[in-house]
Amino acid sequence: MAYVIIGNSAAAVSAVEAIRSVDRDTPISLYCDEQAPIYSRCMLSYYLAGHVEKDDLRFRDDGWYERMAVEPHLGSAVTGLDADRKKLRLADGSEASYDKLLVATGAKARSLGRPGEELPGVFRLRNLPDAEGIVARLGEANRVAVLGGGLVGLKAAYALRERGMEVSVLVRSDHLMSQVADARAGDLIRERLEEKGIEVRTGVDAKAIAGDGGVKAVELSEGGAVECGMVVVGKGVDSNLDVVKESGIEAHWGIVTDEHMQTSAPEVYAAGDVAETRDLLTGERTVNAIWPNASEQGRVAGFNMAGRERTYPGSLAMNSVDFYGRSLMAVGKVRKLDQGAEEVVDYQPERGRYRKLVIRDGRLIGLLIVGSMQGVGTALALIKAGVPVAEIQEVLLAEDFDYAKILHLVKQYPEAFGRREFLLTVKSAVG
């Protein structure tokens, strides 16, 4: 018996830790195309900003492989798999066998698809080499254009501003973070970025990147150009499906998984940014490509691989960002209003405060906040478990909302809070 893991990031690490919590003995091999030891790509913007060193990117220490009894094959890309023979094809032409396989190959940054993208000075931000490339070029450019107003684009913009660059964020939609938030929230973030000297231009589209041996400007479809010596493209991600391409394993946006995180092939599991799961709120198949989902899916996959049945309840869109002390958190369906859904809003832009609940059929399906993070985790638990909230709308919207304020509901829905933890928080309430 041997477990094989492809990937070396959130989903992979979490799966290994789950397996090892119940099975100390069976060999685990891990393959990763990148050379670097375990590092967190979410931290790359902090590295880019100069706030942390390269070593700080590690979210597990050097002794981890040994403690977990994992045989790492770093710098060894998997190029394909034969699910009938249970074999992997490696980049050097050799093969490796598995009994149980986890595909945790994550995602790659989308390219811009416009001329000039290959010019020196044009970057994406997904891997350590991307970040190192930007850092190496810092002295050569004063102005950077960031294409895209999503999470990664804005984190890059913030980081490069921290390095003293002149930053212009160019966004096609009419507000920032349009994939995760609404215009009110996006504009509150925009306000803070602009206060700190980051230029934001919405409703503009990059037609081409101009330059000769290096970036000179971004040309806009609307006419005109933004001069810059560097471009960072932040246009979202696509799952890394190459490994399963000719394997017959079912994949659309990502590799299709069932509630055990198993793929259409026996003994082959998938987790993280590469995995397509059922969305907890819409019931539709999708890739919710964020770190907590990757970890949880990896954990569920790991337990199932080790023969301990676990079911995955479904993925949830959620995000947290903080720019210059202004936080934004978006959980669930907050972007546009679905049919039959209603919004309850506390919007106080002068205080930098915004709180929006989205409710459908008496259940919370979305929460969007800017400013105070009070009670967000408790609300998230209510969303996940589909707890009826009609009676507590005002409580949820209040500035002092927290777990203690809904103990009566907690008693009725202990599973929303982890049954055991609930029993222990309010012992007398059930005793």
Partner 1 sequence: MPRVICDNERCLACKACEIACAVQHSAAKSLAGVFEEPPRVRVSRLPEARGLPLRCMQCEEAPCVMACMSGALQRDAETGLVKHDADKCVGCWMCVMVCPFGGVRPLRSRGVVTKCDLCEGEETPACVAACPTHALSVDETTAEEV
Ligand X SMILES: Cc1cc2nc3c(=O)[nH]c(=O)nc-3n(C[C@H](O)[C@H](O)[C@H](O)COP(=O)(O)OP(=O)(O)OC[C@H]3O[C@@H](n4cnc5c(N)ncnc54)[C@H](O)[C@@H]3O)c2cc1C
Site residues, partner 1 (CB under 8 A): 10, 14, 40, 42-43, 46, 51-52, 56, 58-60, 67, 291-292, 295-296, 299, 318, 320-322, 325, 327, 329, 331, 373-378, 380-381, 400, 402-405, 407, 416-421, 423-429
Rounded CA-CA distance 133/278 in Å is 36
Rounded CA-CA distance 145/200 in Å is 10
Contact flag: residue 300 with ligand X (CB under 6 A): no
Identify what 125 binds: partner 1, ligand X, none; CB under 5 to 8 Å per kind.
Answer: ligand X
Give the H/E segment covering residue 418.
none
Contact flag: residue 42 with ligand X (CB under 6 A): yes
Contact flag: residue 168 with ligand X (CB under 6 A): no
Tell me the β-bridge partners of 231. 122, 145
Least Å from the CB of residue 51 to partner 1: 7
Contact flag: residue 44 with ligand X (CB under 6 A): yes
Task: Give pairs for 318-324: CB < 8 Å, separation 24+.
Answer: 318/290, 318/292, 318/380, 319/151, 319/180, 319/290, 321/151, 321/154, 321/155, 321/177, 321/189, 323/154, 323/158, 323/189, 323/192, 323/193, 323/196, 324/158, 324/192, 324/193, 324/195, 324/196
Contact flag: residue 219 with ligand X (CB under 6 A): no
Contact flag: residue 276 with ligand X (CB under 6 A): no
Identify what 6 binds: ligand X, partner 1, none; CB under 5 to 8 Å per kind.
Answer: ligand X
Contact flag: residue 299 with ligand X (CB under 6 A): no
- Tell whether the torsion through CA atoms of 370, 376, 382 and 383 is positive or negative: positive
Stretch that binds ligand X, among 5-13, 141-149, 171-179, 413-421 (CB under 6 A): 5-13
In 8-142, beta strands by DSSP E: 28-32, 70-74, 78-82, 87-90, 95-97, 100-103, 107-109, 122-124
Least Å from the CB of residue 39 to ligand X: 9
Identify what 239 binds: partner 1, ligand X, none; CB under 5 to 8 Å per kind.
Answer: none
Q: Where along the sequence are the contacts to ligand X (CB under 6 A)? A: 6-12, 31-34, 41-42, 44-45, 77-78, 104-107, 125-126, 151-152, 155, 240, 242-243, 272-273, 289-292, 294
